[in-house]
Amino acid sequence: MKLKLNRLAIFCLILGFNSVCAQEEIIFEEHFDGDSLNTDIWNYEEGDGCPNLCGWGNNEEQVYNRNYVEVIDGNLVITAVKKDGEYYSGKINSKGNLEFTYGEIEVKAKLAPGTGLWPAIWMLGSDIDTVGWPACGEIDILEYVGREPDMVFTSLHTPASHGETINTKKSYFEDIEEGYHTYKAIWTKDYIEFFVDGNQVYRFTPKAYDDEHYPYRKDFYFLINMAIGGNFGGPEVDDTIFPAKFYVDYIKVKKLN
């Protein structure tokens, strides 16, 4: 792990005259305090992916620009707009700064509804520049597409199954677009399990523990973005929804017991 932001929390349950205490080690915690992005942790991604990955590999329509990433009132706010006939949005990652292996990851976020929008909180293997995608592995903690209201997608992409991966679950949550909700992944050396608002939605246990089926025994880093259109978010975009805002209240990573 490149940036280690550990703290130890101690919780005690008082039972009569005795108390039982449990220790919780926080690997990383981000509450987006202040009025600007912490660039010791987060990097901006900008442009349209060209020349190497035009459309960001998914025929997405947006151009990423740091001006559409803000920190406001304790939230990360990513705004999508249409300006002068072009779509713009924001994307950040923690590559090279915050990278870790295993943990209980919890995010609290408020989705941006609307046909064509594709907000996501996800992770990529830190060796992507060496081995490429999908060999690096991908963990999608939260994906939402506005053309399918009330649905949350949690997915894993591996060399054995990627793109239209079989390692995915689409879960129905009525009015998931309303207010803030929590999205959790428990990532271990043997399985990855996903939760929405404390409800288990998917558990992935591979049929083989090799690089083809489980490239998840190494460091990963975070990505947070809101795409527009593309293979998954599109094909149609409702231009009446702009500006649209995706809010992230916090990200917390706890060490597994």
Instruction: Evaluate whether residue 23 is within a structural domain.
Output: no
Q: Would you say residue 19 lies in a domain?
A: no
In a domain, 166, yes or no: yes
Q: Answer whether 202's CB lies under 8 Å from 193's CB.
A: yes
Residue 149 lies in a domain: yes
Q: What pLDDT digit, counting tens, does each position of 83-131 carry? A: 999 999 999 999 999 999 999 999 999 999 999 999 999 999 999 999 9
Does residue 109 form part of some domain? yes
Name the residue range of residue 118's domain. Answer: 29-254
pLDDT in tens, 147-203: 999 999 999 999 999 999 999 999 999 999 999 999 999 999 999 999 999 999 999
Residue 143 known to be catalytic: yes
Active-site option among 30, 99, 143, 164: 143
Mean pLDDT of 237-252: 99
Contact in structure between 146 and 117 (CB atoms under 8 Å): yes
Task: Give the count of domains, the chain.
Answer: 1
Question: Predicted confidence band at 257 (pLDDT cuts at 50, 70, 90)?
Answer: confident
In a domain, 170, yes or no: yes
Residue 29 among the catalytic residues: no
Mean pLDDT of the region 4-28: 61
Specify if 3 maps to a domain: no
The rounded distance, in Å, linking the Cα atoms of 49 and 57 is 8
Q: Choosing from 138, 174, 177, 178, which is the catalytic residue?
A: 138
- For residue 67, being part of any structural domain is answered with yes
225 has pLDDT over 80? yes
CA dist., res. 100 & res. 219, Å (int): 5
CATH number of the structural domain spanning residue 157:
2.60.120.200
Q: Name the pTM for this structure.
A: 0.92
In SS3 terms, 57-91 reads as HCCCCEEECHHHEEEECCEEEEEEEEECCEEEECE
